[in-house]
């Protein structure tokens, strides 16, 4: 059975891009008699606003979608810690005390997710007075797993290339876990068979595939859809004037009609679908 998910972070209200993503995930599951789940990715402590969860549910209902809600990430911290301990026990994580500014000062190569960590802390003794994060030693991990493959329903078969992202932080200094570790564990725990999300997270899937191999998790397929863009070709964002779904809903717009238009890729003026 196909299980897809919509996994918004309650850092701000949802906009049209989220609606598009949720509809795609919903329809992929529902037309195949599968399940569509909603998971709140609420572990971004300072930015997370739990009160937005109810607005998200109202938005999905307004669009005419049906879903099952699974536990939010904040309820799953023990599973993240346990998985991280397993990786540490195998010598695959190393502590890192570098700040963003220190990394930027090394003039690092820029990868699909930003600066590629130059490995400064890999063989460095910890300063006991400074906080630290834990990074995955990707080279070491790949030496254990060997080559890995994954399938994107749109882009086709992929060779996993987690090295493109450098050694990622899996346990953050300021928060219990990073997005990458949490999302990989959650998709497995929720039985997700088709990870549906925007193409901006395509590169992250190389790393998620590696984490699945290291943690003995089932391997789903992926469906990275193109993003909706604004008149200037940028990702939609409320701070750049894209109205939220809540604004649209409260102004009396017909959500089911909007959903039908998004399905037909008839977008409101100024909005277009990015190319892959
Ligand atoms: N929580 C992420 C976001 O709101 C999405 C993560 C995912 O779909 O894997 O951007």
Q: pLDDT for 148-166, tens place per residue?
A: 999 999 999 999 999 999 9
> Residue 17 belongs to what H/E stretch?
helix 16-30
CA of 7 to the centre of ligand 1 (A): 5
Give, in degrees to the nearest 5, the angle at Cα 80 between 79 and 84: 115
Give me 118's structure tokens. Answer: 């130059």
φ, ψ for residue 219 (rounded to 5)? -105, 115
Looking from the CA of residue 198, the nearest atom of ligand 1 is 8
Q: What whole-number distance in Å separates Cα of residue 228 and Cα of residue 233?
A: 9
CA of 15 to the centre of ligand 1 (A): 13
Mean pLDDT score, 174-194: 95
Specify the pLDDT at position 135.
97
Q: 18-22 long-range CB contacts below 8 Å, 24 or more apart?
A: 18/59, 18/245, 19/59, 19/63, 19/245, 19/258, 19/259, 19/262, 20/225, 20/228, 20/262, 21/196, 21/197, 21/198, 21/225, 22/60, 22/63, 22/65
**Residue-wise pLDDT tens digits, 207-232:** 999 999 999 999 999 999 999 999 89
pTM of the model: 0.96
Any ligand 1 atom below 6 A from CB of 8: yes
Any ligand 1 atom below 6 A from CB of 7: yes
CA of 31 to the centre of ligand 1 (A): 23
Specify the pLDDT at position 175.
83
Residue 82: pLDDT above 80?
yes
CA of 267 to the centre of ligand 1 (A): 22
**Residue-wise pLDDT tens digits, 226-248:** 999 998 999 988 778 788 999 99
pLDDT band at 76 (very low <50, low <70, confident <90, very high): very high
Q: Using most ligand atoms within 8 A of CB, pick from 4, 6, 9 the residue to mutate for ligand 1.
A: 9
Any ligand 1 atom below 6 A from CB of 165: no
Looking from the CA of residue 197, the nearest atom of ligand 1 is 8
φ, ψ for residue 54 (rounded to 5)? -70, -35
Mean pLDDT score, 84-91: 97
């Amino acid at each position: 059975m196909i299980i897809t998910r919509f996994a918004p972070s309650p850092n701000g209200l949802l906009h049209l891009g989220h609606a598009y993503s949720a509809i795609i995930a919903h329809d992929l599951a529902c037309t195949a008699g599968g399940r569509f789940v909603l998971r709140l990715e609420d572990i971004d402590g300072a930015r997370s606003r739990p009160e937005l969860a109810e607005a998200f549910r109202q938005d999905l209902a307004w669009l005419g979608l049906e879903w099952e809600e699974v536990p939010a990430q904040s309820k799953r911290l023990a599973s993240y810690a346990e998985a991280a301990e397993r990786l540490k026990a195998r010598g695959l994580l190393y502590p890192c005390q570098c700040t963003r500014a220190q990394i930027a000062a090394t003039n690092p190569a820029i990868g699909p997710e930003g600066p590629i960590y130059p490995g400064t802390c890999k063989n460095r003794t910890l300063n006991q007075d400074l906080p630290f994060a834990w990074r995955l030693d990707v080279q070491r991990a790949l030496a254990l797993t060997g080559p890995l493959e994954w399938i994107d329903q749109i882009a086709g078969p992929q060779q996993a290339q987690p090295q493109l992202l450098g050694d990622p932080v899996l346990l953050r200094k300021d928060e219990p876990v990073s997005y990458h570790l949490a999302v990989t564990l959650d998709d497995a725990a929720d039985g997700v068979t088709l990870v549906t999300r925007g193409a901006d997270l395509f590169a992250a899937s190389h790393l998620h595939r590696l984490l699945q191999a290291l943690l003995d998790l089932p391997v789903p397929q992926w469906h990275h859809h193109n993003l909706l863009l604004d008149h200037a070709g940028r990702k939609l964002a409320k701070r750049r004037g894209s109205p939220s779904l809540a604004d649209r809903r409260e102004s009396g717009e017909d959500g089911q009609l909007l959903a039908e238009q998004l399905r037909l890729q008839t977008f409101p003026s100024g909005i277009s679908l990015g190319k892959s």
